[in-house]
Structure 1
Amino acid sequence: MNVLVWNENRHEKKNPIVSDIYPKGIHGAIAAFLSEDTVNVKTSTLDEPEHGLTDEVLIGTDVLIWWGHMAHHEVLDEIVEKVHKRVLEGMGLIVLHSGHFSKIFKKLMGTTCDLKWREADEKERLWVVDPSHPITEGIGEYIELEKEEMYGEHFDIPSPDQLIFLSWFEGGEVFRSGATYQRGKGKVFYFRPGHETYPTYYNEEIQQVIKNAVQWVNNSDTPTPVYGNTNPIETISKKEKG
């Protein structure tokens, strides 16, 4: 399996708090723990040519993980179109935290993907609401994070195919924090935690969810449908008129 971790990598360059927490970038932190289980993990960032998402790279990617926040508008529309095409063809996509506002996620959802938010060092408790789903393997009834950014309902997304996690925050809000979708042949998983000024991606349970999600969205061995006008696979008998 070939996994690509994409990160805009802007907070790490501008905010010393973020660079202290993630000295190799958020993408580097995620790639590090995925490398423990996954055959081949690479990273790309916004400021690379074609955002590091060339045709060759995308064709060779089975699972794409996306983290973005302050520079969604800088992602070129033609690159979004290429990523969208690959998802429909079967590439798995995991969208993390503020990636809910990325061009690719909004295009796939067809909604604004807007929400409430607040930064107040709140406790977050992510309740597992579908304990039978493979993404929850190895996780208890809930994951508790001491401090995180609050995301609150209403979250303007389509009804998920499967709702995996529901978050409660110390200030009282709740949020659909883990949701799956299928688009074309591609599987999509949105996972809420991961604000840049908190060490969330070092949490072993968060890491386990992302590892599980990589396995679940990988869809490389399924059949590819053929569309358009087609010849019969059986002989069609000619019926006499009248």
Structure 2
Amino acid sequence: MDQIRVTVWGENRHERTEEHVAKLYPDGMHETIAAGIREHLGDAAEVRTATLDEPKHGLTEQVLAGTDVLTWWGHAAHGEVADEVVERVHRHVLSGMGLVVLHSGHWSKIFTKLMGTTCTLRWRNEHDRELIWTVDPTHPIAQGVPHPIVLPEDEMYGEYFDVPPPDELIFISSFSGGEVFRSGCTWRRGHGRIFYFKPGDQDYPVYHHPDIRRVIANGVRWARTDRPRRELPELLRYDTFSAPTHPGPAA
């Protein structure tokens, strides 16, 4: 199979405005996430990055046409993501592009649009220990992952998580305050596969953790579909989800 073409999208705001985040992620969280994918997938993946403040947020038609899997991390500026870009990403997901949504991306415009719910949850940022328990050890995303993954510190997310019932529940997190959370879930929308993975608040070095990097890379591999690659002119001419047109009744 051809290389998995991956675009790692990041908001890239905390890293430029908060000194402690810049120390954890001097090249940006998006670059750290991209490095983890390259580390685990190697030559099987071609990885690029894009950020909010690029023209069209770095997600042009050309970029998305050349993307098999898009990863998404956002937090402070969900409202700044242009609706036309959200519509573009949504169309590509329905047409077969994979989407890996990370941490606070649960409130992104694209995730809430795909879920059709508020995607709200409980949260507390008090340096909780997080244990990530594998509840579906046969799933490809859980391949090579310890049980549990131990994060000494992370933001707490707790139930109720207002999303549709997942097609597959792979991970559940528990926290030092006693809360639990469905932290690794998949859905299918149209021809596209979606993986949501909770860990990764900007205040903690979570994306440097080897087991978290492995899960994300596994998620990218899983989210890649076998839909045939299409060239840009075809994407611009056809909407694969339009109902076929038929001639009207003969006069």
Which sits farther off after the overlay, 219-228 or 102-111? 219-228
Contact 1:136 1:209 in 2 (8 A): yes
Task: Identify which of 141, 150, 159 aligns with 2:165.
Answer: 159
Change (3 A) 1:129 1:82: same
Structure 1 runs (4+) deviating above 3 angstroms are: 220-227
3-state SS of the aligned residue for 1:149? Answer: strand
Residue in 1 that maps onto 2:9 = 6
Q: Which has the larger radius of gyration?
A: 1
Task: Identify which of 14, 22, 32 aligns with 1:19.
Answer: 22
User: For structure 1, which runs of at least 5 residues remain unmatched after alignment?
Assistant: 231-242
Residue identity matched to 2:50: S
Question: 2:49, 2:113 → 1: CA distance?
Answer: 23
User: For structure 2, which runs of at least 5 residues remain unmatched after alignment?
Assistant: 230-239, 247-251
Residue identity matched to 2:175: F
Residue in 2 that maps onto 1:109 = 115
Contact 1:62 1:220 in 2 (8 A): no
Contact 2:36 2:214 in 1 (8 A): no
Which sits farther off after the overlay, 96-105 or 36-45? 36-45
Residue identity matched to 1:66: W
Change (3 A) 1:51 1:171: same
Contact 2:142 2:218 in 1 (8 A): yes
Residue in 2 that maps onto 1:219 = 225
TM-score (norm 2): 0.89
2:69 aligned with 1:68: no
Q: 1:9-158 residue pairs with structure 2 within 5 A?
A: 9-36=12-39, 37=41, 38-158=44-164
Residue in 2 that maps onto 1:238 = none
Question: 1:68, 1:103 → 2: CA distance?
Answer: 10
Residue identity matched to 2:60: T
1:139 Cα offset (Å): 1.0
Task: Identify which of 158, 161, 172 aligns with 2:178.
Answer: 172
3-state SS of the aligned residue for 1:82? Answer: helix
Residue in 2 that maps onto 1:235 = none
3-state SS of the aligned residue for 1:124? Answer: strand
Q: 1:183-198 residue pairs with structure 2 within 5 A?
A: 183-198=189-204
Residue in 1 that maps onto 2:233 = none
1:222 Cα offset (Å): 5.9
Question: 1:24, 1:225 → 2: CA distance?
Answer: 39
Residue in 1 that maps onto 2:244 = 228
Contact 1:91 1:220 in 2 (8 A): no
Which sits farther off after the overlay, 35-44 or 108-117? 35-44
1:226 Cα offset (Å): 8.7
Question: 1:157, 1:226 → 2: CA distance?
Answer: 27
3-state SS of the aligned residue for 1:219? Answer: coil
TM-score (norm 1): 0.92
